[in-house]
């Protein structure tokens, strides 16, 4: 079976190509335990860095799609969306098919992808989901600001985050100082907050100016990551809703830079960012 190690802005993936046309097995499956074993840092397959997610490429299920992307996180369970993995998957398909656009199918729907320069891909992530039931939250509330606080109730260190779903739930705090915000300590607390029945990805966004955000993300089932594509999209949507930025924003993550635009014309979020192929072979 073809096996690749790829990353999008540092977000690292173990990619198994189960499509029969590339020598794969359409019935290929991995247990949760095997996914955990492969993804952990120091694994025989992934080396010291490990993988943030494991991707299985399959033949499309829906008409209009070119490829299906199954996404498993470090804990082994399947998730519905991953923006950086969508870029890497679409780049691979476009390279193999010698085309400059394609449609990637995920559990959350179809995503139109297009080449955007040398080793760069633009993905139409669709419209964000903003209703409390869509995210989902456990209680009825407006999602511009949700009632989550960290620290003393009368003087919280963090408060009033925005909630957004980009195919997966995000809670986005706006911070002035990462050292005071402590993403690596606060992230796991909020991931399992009772308000989020499906857990949450937790973003910590520092607005530099109307066109620039510095972002750190605690990803559910993973931990701190060098990049989170859906997290970058969610941060910009939350920032626009709280009138902190313009609708087209450069998001600086630890692994690189993503350009996010929340279009006013059709409500779609467009994510553009880099792709890197680290290795390719068979397994």
Question: CA-CA distance, 218 to 231, in Å (whole number)?
Answer: 9
pLDDT of residue 153: 84
Using the predicted structure, report yes or no on whether residue 155 has a pLDDT greater than 90.
Answer: no
Question: CA-CA distance, 164 to 186, in Å (whole number)?
Answer: 18
Using the predicted structure, report yes or no on whether residue 99 has a pLDDT greater than 90.
Answer: yes
Residue with tokens 């003087």: 155
- What confidence tens digit (pLDDT) does each residue in 129-149 have? 999 999 999 999 999 999 999
Longest dimension (CA), the chain: 61
All structural domains of the chain, each given as residue ranges with its CATH number in brackets, are 2-125+274-282 (3.10.310.10), 162-267 (3.10.310.10)
3-state secondary structure of 227: coil
101-106 and 109-115 strand pairing: antiparallel
Handedness of CA 199, 106, 55, 119 (dihedral sign): negative
Known catalytic membership, residue 82: yes
pLDDT of residue 154: 84
Burial of 268 (0-12, 13-18, 19+ CB in 10 A): middle
Using the predicted structure, report yes or no on whether residue 167 has a pLDDT greater than 90.
Answer: yes
Question: CA-CA distance, 67 to 120, in Å (whole number)?
Answer: 19
Catalytic residue among 39, 102, 228, 233: 228
Burial of 100 (0-12, 13-18, 19+ CB in 10 A): exposed
67-73 and 269-274 strand pairing: unpaired
Q: Which tokens is 29 given?
A: 């499956």
Residue 253: pLDDT band with limits 50, 70, 90: very high
Residue 21: pLDDT band with limits 50, 70, 90: very high
- What confidence tens digit (pLDDT) does each residue in 192-241 have? 999 999 999 999 999 999 999 999 999 999 999 999 999 999 999 999 99
Average pLDDT of the chain? 96
pLDDT of residue 37: 97
Q: Rounded mean pLDDT of 172-178?
A: 96
Q: Which tokens is 258 given?
A: 């993503």
What would the 3-class secondary structure string for 56-111 be?
EEECCCCCCCCEEEEEEECCCCEECCCHHHHHHHHHHHHHHHCCCEEEEEECCEEE
- What confidence tens digit (pLDDT) does each residue in 258-282 have? 999 999 999 999 999 999 999 999 9
Q: Rounded mean pLDDT of 119-134?
A: 97
Catalytic residue among 82, 102, 113, 233: 82
Q: Report the first-to-last Cα separation within the chain, whole angstroms.
A: 6
Q: Which tokens is 229 given?
A: 């594509």
Known catalytic membership, residue 228: yes
Q: Rounded mean pLDDT of 79-107?
A: 97
CA angle 2, 111, 36 (to 5 degrees): 45
């Amino acid at each position: 079976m073809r096996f690749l190690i790829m990353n999008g802005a540092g977000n690292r993936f173990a990619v198994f190509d189960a499509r029969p046309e590339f020598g794969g097995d359409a019935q290929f499956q991995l247990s949760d335990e095997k996914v955990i074993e492969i993804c952990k840092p120091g694994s025989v397959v992934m080396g010291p860095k490990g993988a943030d997610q494991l991707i299985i490429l399959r033949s499309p299920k829906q008409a209009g799609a070119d490829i299906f992307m199954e996404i498993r996180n470090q804990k082994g369970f399947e998730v519905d969306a991953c923006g950086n993995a969508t870029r890497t998957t679409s780049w691979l398909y476009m390279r193999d098919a010698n085309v400059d656009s394609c449609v990637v199918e995920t559990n959350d729907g179809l995503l139109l992808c297009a080449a955007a320069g040398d080793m760069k891909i633009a993905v139409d992530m669709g419209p964000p989901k903003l209703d409390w039931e869509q995210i989902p939250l456990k209680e009825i509330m407006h999602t511009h600001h949700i009632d989550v606080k960290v620290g003393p109730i009368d003087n919280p260190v963090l408060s009033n985050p925005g909630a957004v779903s980009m195919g997966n739930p995000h809670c986005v705090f706006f911070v002035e100082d990462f050292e005071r915000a402590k993403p690596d300590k606060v992230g796991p607390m909020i991931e399992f907050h009772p308000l989020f029945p499906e857990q949450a990805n937790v973003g910590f966004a520092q607005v530099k100016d109307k066109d620039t955000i510095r972002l750190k993300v605690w990803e559910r089932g993973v931990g701190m990551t060098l990049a989170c594509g859906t997290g970058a999209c969610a941060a910009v949507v939350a920032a626009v809703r709280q009138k902190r930025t313009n609708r087209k924003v450069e998001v600086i993550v630890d692994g690189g830079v993503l350009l996010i635009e929340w279009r006013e014309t059709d409500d779609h979020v467009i994510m553009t960012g880099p792709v890197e192929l680290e290795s390719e072979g068979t397994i």
